[in-house]
Structures are given as structure tokens and as C-alpha cells.
Structure 1
């Protein structure tokens, strides 16, 4: 079991970290003082009472569905409930965060599970409210939408009215919520949970070593070809072993989705995702079509990578191996200064937010036993702090990860200043804009300080990330579309059927310089296919970010427009928010411009490789 983290947020392990002038682990004291804080039950009781008060007041009434003034009163009370309590208050956020720090701790898991059950119960108790609003007759809807009293909730109401035709009765909605764990969530966790427990013995540096599943995935990027082969061989054995389980698992998820779509009268498998994300299906289609039409860019990239590495072809598992030598170490303190310098050059507000996070213990910086891998930025209530998790190991990627996650945080703080609690979130279609925007500007700062050899390796790493975020995710989306379509035609798909579909779509963006012949079973470990059409958001976020970066470079004052967008939350649809900035995301040309920028970066990289006589 990992040691408990002190809520002061200060790290006392290792001399290198003691001298750090900032707090480098989370200070959770704004939420609770400890895992056994006597306030836990008190706070949860307040949450229950606040929710119960709202339900008791409005569940039997109909007048708020007839009079704008009364509807405003009810929405004001819902906003206050969402602002101060939500469905689990401070204990819910506290234990969600503690779980990320100590995932093997059964006591934390138990407390979190108990709180999650309460959250589900409270969400269900309030379902009547938005269901009733959604079913206000069309002839009466305009009265509410045009009401001056309700202007602060206009888009909230617009979304409710849009969802109306896909909603069921209150009782049926509760049943769907309650069955979601058994018909989707537990299936989703099954394969990933089994894979995470796997270990295999492989040969490394002349001796046998035992590696877990996560380690094996990481070794696919190792610079030693024999190590890559060993890791891939082990992964292939694991995938083969669990393909028999993954097959019914994914079919169960596909079947549940088909049932839900049929009940809700969705004509396409991805339509529910688009409605939930507040983006028009036509816009997502345009994004996917635009990127698919430029798969020549990703194919050129892999051709270049194969040449630089001296390989006739890359194996499928080798597509992400790094090229070249980069500066070996980027210590946390040095990385922080670089990110601060970049933010300062963009806008002082960005720097102020970052420094607040560092000062207040809102960033957990270093890896330790029991802590989750990777990085994220998270928030819950508008009245609670934002928290960022890192696992800084002094790599180049760690530098850009700081910028990426703090970008999400900046997005949160700007929304917090301008929006009420019902608009305090980002649509999935634009959720990655702030993060990639900040990340790219930090990368440009790194490039300024690099010699040509280092520059080439950084450019290759940058392109590798963009190909993965834009072209690979588009191929994933195309695969998902066909996967759901084939299931609905045939009623069941064998692992061989799924493997062939996957291989076909991976080949479509990788091209002839990547051997996909043994990629059949790689769909098994990709969690996104269980999240259902989530991946387009990476594509849209990256390409919108590129457009905004271009405009800021042309005119630094455009950063004010960027801040305007970042503060908008869900107060309007992404389409309308960008139209207010003079950007039309419904046009294919808009998306092609972003792709042209990637092509320009690829041209620059190819030219530099030729100049250095690498190809």
C-alpha cells in the first residue's frame, strides 16, 4: 500500500524535490482534512438534504412548465444546488482524487463506491425535472426561449428541447440508468481489467525480466529492436488469450448501444454522442471526411520515419518509436520555468493561473507507488479547486504534458469567472483545444533553443503526436462506424470479423510503409471503442487549436478572442461560439486549413532531414 499523502501538499521524499519552491503534491484540505474527517458524513448529509429539498419542492409541481418567471426560480435553485452540492459534494471529489493517488487501497475504493451509489441515486431523483422541461410542447417553447428572465438559461433550455424527441418516460429513464452498470460499464471494465493484471517474462539486455501489461506497451517504443520484438510477442500472446473474452464483451456493448438507440429513436449509431456533445452531426461528418481525404499526409510521415530509422517497413507495433536524440533531462523546476515563460508571452492571465496552481498545491507532480499512470486535469463543482495530476520523469514529453494539462486548467478558471454552474464544463468537441493550444506554444519555445539535430527529433515527435491524435483517431472513428453498422446487419461479429475491419482501417491511414498484417487483435486493448464515438473530439480539438494558434501568430491581440472562447463553457453550441469569433467550423475548408499546417510541418521536417543527409 502506498503511503498516505500529507494534505499540506508538500513532498518530503528525495533531495531533488525538497528544494522545489512549489508544492508538488495535492493539498486536498479545501475538500476534507483526511480520509476519516468527521465532516464526511455531515457533508454528505447536507448534499442529501439539499437534493431532497429540491425534489420535494418541484417534483409535484407543473407551474414551472407554464410560467417563465417560475421556471427561472426553479433553474436558479438547480444552479445553486449544482454550484454548492452537486451529487456528492466535497467527499465525492476528495475520494475520487485520493483513489487516483492510491489505487490499490481497498478502504478508499470502498468509500468511493459507496459515494458513487449515492450519486447515482441522487441523479435519478432529479431526472423528472429536465424530463418535464424537455417535454414542454413545441408551440410553447419559444415563449421560454425568448423570455428576458430566462436569458441566462437559454442554451440550457435549447438543449433540453433538442433532446426531447429521444427521451423516454421518467420511469424508463431510471431503468436505463440503473441497468447501465450491468449492460455497459462492467463489460467495459472486464477486458481492460484482465489485461491490466497480465505479466509476461521477456528477454531484455540478455536476461529474463518480468513485465506487466503497461510496461510491455511502453517497451514498444524502446530504441532496441529486439526489446520491441520481445514486448510485441508477449502482447500478442496476451491478446490471443483474451480475444475469446473480448469478442462477447464488445458484442454486448454493441448490442446495448443498438437497443438504446432503438428505444431513443436515433437513426445512426453516432447520433447520440453528437447530441450529447452539442455538435451537429453534419459538422462531425465534415471533420472526419476532411481528415480521411488527407490520409496521404500520415502515409508520408510513416514513409519518412521508416527511412530515418533505416527500416524498409515499420511493423504495426513500431509506429510510435521515437527518432533521434533529444536533451536527456528536463527537471521539473526547469520545465516549470519554460512553461511559465511561454504563458507569460501569451497572456499574463495564463501565467497567474499557473502560479496559483503551483502555490496552492493543485498539481501532483511525481510518480510513486499506487498512483495512477499518465496525466489529467479534473474539476467537479464550480466552487471547488481544479486539480492536475502529472507523473514527471524529466522527459521532453513531460514538459509538454505540463502545458497540456494546465491548458485544461486555464480553460476551467476562465469558465469559472464568466459562467454559472450549469455551464461550467467544456463540450467534448472542443475539450482538447486549450490543452493542445498551450502545448504547441511550449513546443515552439523548445524548438527555439534547439540545434538542428535536436530540432529534427522534436519535430518528428511533434508530428508523431499529431498523426496519432488526428489521423489515427479518424481511422478509429471510421472503424467504429463500420463496426456498429456491421453488427446491426449481422447481429454478432466474430473476433476474426472485427480483426479484419480493424486491420483495413489501420492500413488506410498508415500506408505501405507500415506492415499491418499482424494488427488483427490490437482492437482488444483500445478502451475508446467502449466509450462509443468519443475519438472525434481529439480530431476536432487539435484542428481547432491549430486555427487559433495561426490567428494568434498573425495577430497577438487575437488572444483576447481565444480567452473569450475558453470562458464560454457550454453557454452556447460550439458552432455558435466560433461564429462569434468569425470562424465557421461547419465548412470543410476550415478543417483542411489545419491539415495544411500539419503538411507544412511535415515539409519542414523532410527538408531538414535532407539537409542533415538523414534521407
Structure 2
């Protein structure tokens, strides 16, 4: 029943936002105005207050053991579950503070140690509470219904209780559950090592650009300079960055292999048929959804290749290369926005959802829920964390002033609003929504932003830029993330077959899938063999079948947004109900209530229609410009 296994999972961003605060340099944190830094004092006024709260919580852990062997009584079960929820909620707040303090500067060992300390306490609690599910498994549905009738307070736990019974075949004995709980701390090791090494200690290269400036190609520098308008610079950036990564491919390979082995260990221990089944079963999602996504994308690669041909045409290159894919395709259009300008754009974009929604977004800005700019040692990328149930969500950004960064802001605010509405409308046991629906809200916000921008912009070049940005989002979300999903499935299958998985083997596997998707053999897009080590750059592979949900969520968000844009009666209300639902039902069922059936190909087909419609408009504009 505990939410501890979800406390540590922050919501990663759709596309990495490795960017710099200003051209040529990154500012120190002390140089950034407080208005652009998150206010972690809302969680705890000081590190000392956090430490006191941690120690106070640690002193309460043994209290959960007084209910061992007594959960066959309704009143006792309710008291136990209430304590478990209260402790889990407190852990969420503790972990949020420590992890976000660490993310401010990954070089500072103090906050890394604080995060590890709370993880150790969480592990201890998981061990003490490991009897809960095994004892609930001994009950049956009829007994639980009788308990709820006797103790109405159990109603908020109905979903969790029935879900435990649903997964009864995969629950273990109390002793075995305790062992798995103790092993959880070790299972997170590979991901933690990857994060520290790639963000703080990896020796990234430095190169000279065509204008004479020098660029450090850390993750932020790579993301910035790979979109250069100078093709020679783009190629040099790719060559230097991936050569550096490739030198450590065996190290990255061992890290990822260790993570895969940990996942396979729990899969076998819990008697699942595959790692995929185990990962999806937590939210009762049929594995057919995953396989169908890959099949649908594979069947629509011609549409993807149409996009790539369009990119090639607009870039004016004879051969489209992988290093060209991030380059701006509309000359003399480089959309840049200060963060204050981005705030105005996003606030205007979300107004169709009503004043309450827009008002909360305004609070996120004015009450400092957001950490805006990149600083030395800061965690790369972006995320939204809603783990502090009694406070408010937080957002980490690395804002650089490009339209992509505005889109990332809208994306993370979508996560934040999902967390805010779920936490507001659901009791703690039902507030935690599934990853499967998490990316719907974020992608929906991006759709609102694009819609607002296209409505306002009449200039053909600017429209071309925005339309291509939308296509780039489909490329990065539906096609690229499904490519990742297929790679993740195949490497798990190798481990399940007990085959060796080295850095070289992962590079060969990733390269083959990458070339398939981008039509390398068909001459659509040239992929240098060196770039097949890209798998080592993707942190999401440490999250166990996470990335496919970006793709399914994009298609769901597209369908929901189309209804709002079209003024369909009740569309806004259904959407707000959706982000308020939390985990009150299984994710597939929550989406059905919003009007979407994700077990069909309908949402995917709507996305392909939108993609082709966008390309039709781009080709029409290009035809006008030729005349």
C-alpha cells in the first residue's frame, strides 16, 4: 500500500533542455535573482529543520510493526494504513527537499549525502512495513468489502487494496518481501552512478567553432551547439561529443547492464513472464499497448520519412545527416524569449482552461515554484516534482531563451498542474497518478502553446518555424521515444535470455534500430556509426519502460487538445476532471472517462492526421514562397 516506490521518481522532461543562461557562459547561482530560483523554504526553513524532521520521522518507523499479524480486523487495518500513508507523505516531503537541494549543485556532497540518508531511512521503513501486502493478500474481495462497510475510512484505500488482490500471484511471503525491500537501495545504484558521472565528473571535450570561439561540450553545451546554423560546426560538435561518450561506452554499458539485471531479478522473483509485463502490470496496462505502439510507429515510418525529406528540402542540403536534425530550418527566424516574456506567452496559452487553472499557473511564477536558469553543477534537463503533497509542486529548468525552452516551461507546468489538481482533489492515498497519464497533461500544455502561437502569427517564415517546431515535437515524442522504447524492450529481452550485454552490444543494437527508423539504408537520413553510442546519453533507460508513455501520452494529448480547440461541449470540464483524478482509477480507465480509448489505434491515427495536415500547410507556404 505504501507509495515509497514512487516517491523517488521525478518526472523527467520530454526533451532534454541542456542549455546555458547566456551566450558563452553560465552564471553562478549567487548572480541569479531570487525571483528566478525556487523557494525550498516552503518545504523546510533550513537544512537543520529538515534534519530534525528526518530524525523525528525515523523515530516513528517502528510504530508500523505493532500491527504485524493483526490486519484481519477492519479497525486495525485502517489504523495501519493511515500510519503508512502519513509516513509515506512525510518521506515525499523529505526526499523532495534533499533531492532538489542536491540538484541545485550535484558537486556538493552534503546534499547528496542527505538524499542518501533519507533513502536509507525509506529502505528501513520498507523493510519494517514489508508485512503489509502479504497480510492483505491473505484476505479476499468479500472480506475487504465487509471491512469497508464496517470502517468507512477504508474507502480511500479501496483502490489500493483491490489492486493488491489483483496482483496476488506476484506477491511474496513476508520474509521475501523484506529481502526485496532491503535490495531496493542497491537497485538504484546504477542510476545514481550514471547521474553523478554524466552531470559532474565526465570529462567533456572542448572545441573551436568556426567563429573562433571555444565551446565546452558538456550536456548543456552539446544541446546548445548541435543546433548551430553552421553545418560544419554541427558536424564538429557531433564528432567531438560522441567520440568522448564512446570512450566510456563500456563503463556506461556496465552501469546499464547492472540496472537491467536488477530489474530482471525482481521480475523473476515475482514470477512475471517478462520485465515489460512487470513494469506495465503495476498500472494494469496490457502489454499489447506497448507492442501496438511499436507496430503503429513502424507502420507509419513513411510519414516520418516525409518529415525528414521536408527537413532536408528546407535546409537545402544534398544529403540529410543525423547532425542536421536540430538545426533551424527557417532562415533569419530565431525565436528568442526572455523568461518574463515566456511567462506571458504561457499564461495566455492556458487561458482556454479557465481562470482557476490560469491563476494557479500565475502562482507558480509569483510564489517561486520554479528554478529557472542553468548554473555550474546543476542537474541538466528539466522536471516537475509533485511529491510534497501538503506544499506545492516544484519545477527545475535550464532556461536558455529559445522557443524550445518556452515549450519546456509549458510542458513542466502541465506536470505541475496535474500534480496540483490531483493533490487538491484527491486524498493522499489516491493522489499519485500513473506515469502512463503523466505526460498527457504536459504535452497538452505544449499543444496549447503551439495553438496560441499559430493563432497570433501571420508571417509565413514565423509560421514555418512554429509548424516545424510542432513536427519536431512529434519526431521527438512519438517517433524518437518509440525508437527508445523498442531499444529498451530489445535489451531487456537479451538480459531475460541471459545473454551478455556489453557497451559494444548495446551500441550495435541501438545503431540498427536507429538506422531503421531514420531510413539510413533508404537514403532518407545518413547515420554515422559513431552516433550509435547515443544510448549512453539517455537517462530514461534507468526508469524501466518509462519512455513509451511519452508517445502514448502525446497521442492522447493531441486528441484531447483537438476537442478543446474545436469548442466541443464539455471538453474543458472533462480535461480538468482528468487532471484531478490522480490515481483514483487505473490510467486506461481514467482516459476512457476523458473520452479516449488507448487500447485502440484511434488516438495514434489522429496524431498522424495532424502531422500530415501540418506538413500539407508547410508545403503550401513553401509553394507560395517559390512564386
TM-score, length-scaled by structure 1: 0.88
Q: Determine the C-alpha separation between the residues in 1 that align with 2:608 and 2:99.
A: 38
1:24-63: CA deviation from partner (whole Å, max 9, x where unpaired): 322222222223x3x334322332244332x133124242
Q: Determine the C-alpha separation between the residues in 2 that align with 1:321 and 1:238.
A: 22
Does residue 522 of structure 1 match 2:529?
no
Residues 114 and 227 of structure 1: is their aligned pair in 2 closer, same or farther, counting only changes over 3 Å?
same
1:255-301: CA deviation from partner (whole Å, max 9, x where unpaired): 33333222211112311110224422233333333233212221111
Match for residue 613 of structure 2? 600
Q: Determine the C-alpha separation between the residues in 2 that align with 1:144 and 1:504.
A: 55
Match for residue 52 of structure 1? 62
Match for residue 5 of structure 1? none
Q: Determine the C-alpha separation between the residues in 2 that align with 1:222 and 1:562.
A: 38
Match for residue 494 of structure 2? 486
Q: Determine the C-alpha separation between the residues in 2 that align with 1:162 and 1:194.
A: 40
Match for residue 176 of structure 1? 180
1:271 to 273, 277, 280: 277
Q: Determine the C-alpha separation between the residues in 2 that align with 1:247 and 1:281.
A: 26
Answer yes or no: is the 8 Å Cα contact 2:514–2:532 preserved in 1: no
1:249 to 255, 260, 279: 255
Residues 402 and 496 of structure 1: is their aligned pair in 2 closer, same or farther, counting only changes over 3 Å?
closer
Does residue 560 of structure 1 match 2:563?
no
Aligned-partner SS, 1:582: coil
Q: Determine the C-alpha separation between the residues in 2 that align with 1:480 and 1:369.
A: 31
Answer yes or no: is the 8 Å Cα contact 2:104–2:377 preserved in 1: yes
Deviation of 1:455 (Å)? 0.9
Residues 561 and 57 of structure 1: is their aligned pair in 2 closer, same or farther, counting only changes over 3 Å?
same
Match for residue 515 of structure 2? 507
Residues 579 and 121 of structure 1: is their aligned pair in 2 closer, same or farther, counting only changes over 3 Å?
same
Answer yes or no: is the 8 Å Cα contact 1:145–1:157 preserved in 2: no
1:584-610: CA deviation from partner (whole Å, max 9, x where unpaired): 221123332233222222222232233
Q: Determine the C-alpha separation between the residues in 2 that align with 1:605 and 1:25.
A: 39
* Residue segments in structure 2 that go unaligned for 5+ positions in a row: 1-28
* Residue segments in structure 1 that go unaligned for 5+ positions in a row: 1-10
Match for residue 582 of structure 1? 595
Match for residue 155 of structure 1? 159
Bigger mean CA deviation after superposition, 344-353 or 44-53: 44-53
Residues 181 and 382 of structure 1: is their aligned pair in 2 closer, same or farther, counting only changes over 3 Å?
closer
Deviation of 1:368 (Å)? 3.0
Q: Determine the C-alpha separation between the residues in 2 that align with 1:503 and 1:234.
A: 18
Residues 410 and 189 of structure 1: is their aligned pair in 2 closer, same or farther, counting only changes over 3 Å?
closer
Aligned-partner SS, 2:585: coil
Match for residue 209 of structure 2? 204
Bigger mean CA deviation after superposition, 496-505 or 220-229: 496-505
Residues 175 and 71 of structure 1: is their aligned pair in 2 closer, same or farther, counting only changes over 3 Å?
closer
How many residues matched? 588
Deviation of 1:148 (Å)? 8.5
Deviation of 1:241 (Å)? 1.5
Aligned-partner SS, 1:431: helix
Aligned-partner SS, 1:598: helix
2:346 to 318, 322, 339: 339
Deviation of 1:538 (Å)? 0.5
2:297 to 267, 283, 291: 291
Bigger mean CA deviation after superposition, 136-145 or 109-118: 136-145
Answer yes or no: is the 8 Å Cα contact 1:199–1:210 preserved in 2: no
Does residue 120 of structure 1 match 2:123?
yes
Root mean square deviation, CA, Å: 2.7
Q: Determine the C-alpha separation between the residues in 1 that align with 2:197 and 2:412.
A: 29
Match for residue 318 of structure 1? 324
Aligned-partner SS, 1:202: strand
Does residue 99 of structure 1 match 2:102?
yes
Aligned-partner SS, 1:612: helix
Aligned-partner SS, 2:216: strand
Match for residue 20 of structure 2? none
Deviation of 1:305 (Å)? 0.5
Q: Determine the C-alpha separation between the residues in 1 that align with 2:40 and 2:624.
A: 52
Match for residue 366 of structure 1? 373
Aligned-partner SS, 2:239: helix
Q: Determine the C-alpha separation between the residues in 2 that align with 1:129 and 1:439.
A: 41
Residues 415 and 103 of structure 1: is their aligned pair in 2 closer, same or farther, counting only changes over 3 Å?
same
Answer yes or no: is the 8 Å Cα contact 2:65–2:128 preserved in 1: no
Match for residue 552 of structure 2? 540
Answer yes or no: is the 8 Å Cα contact 2:436–2:549 preserved in 1: yes
Aligned-partner SS, 2:546: coil
Q: Determine the C-alpha separation between the residues in 2 that align with 1:566 and 1:235.
A: 39
Residues 485 and 365 of structure 1: is their aligned pair in 2 closer, same or farther, counting only changes over 3 Å?
closer
Residues 609 and 133 of structure 1: is their aligned pair in 2 closer, same or farther, counting only changes over 3 Å?
farther
Bigger mean CA deviation after superposition, 110-119 or 411-420: 110-119
Q: Determine the C-alpha separation between the residues in 1 that align with 2:608 and 2:621.
A: 20
Aligned-partner SS, 1:377: strand
Answer yes or no: is the 8 Å Cα contact 1:314–1:513 preserved in 2: yes
Answer yes or no: is the 8 Å Cα contact 1:469–1:538 preserved in 2: yes
Q: Determine the C-alpha separation between the residues in 2 that align with 1:400 and 1:303.
A: 24
Match for residue 113 of structure 2? 110
1:453 to 450, 454, 461: 461
Deviation of 1:520 (Å)? 2.8
Match for residue 28 of structure 1? 40
Deviation of 1:560 (Å)? 0.4
Q: Determine the C-alpha separation between the residues in 2 that align with 1:199 and 1:336.
A: 33
Kindly report which structure 2 residues correspond to 1:217-228, keeping only aligned pairs within 5 A, or say none.
Answer: 217-228=223-234
Match for residue 79 of structure 1? 85
Higher relative contact order (CA 8 A, sep 6+): 2
Aligned-partner SS, 1:492: coil
Answer yes or no: is the 8 Å Cα contact 1:201–1:210 preserved in 2: yes
Q: Determine the C-alpha separation between the residues in 2 that align with 1:335 and 1:114.
A: 37
Deviation of 1:334 (Å)? 1.9
Aligned-partner SS, 1:340: helix
Residues 175 and 497 of structure 1: is their aligned pair in 2 closer, same or farther, counting only changes over 3 Å?
same
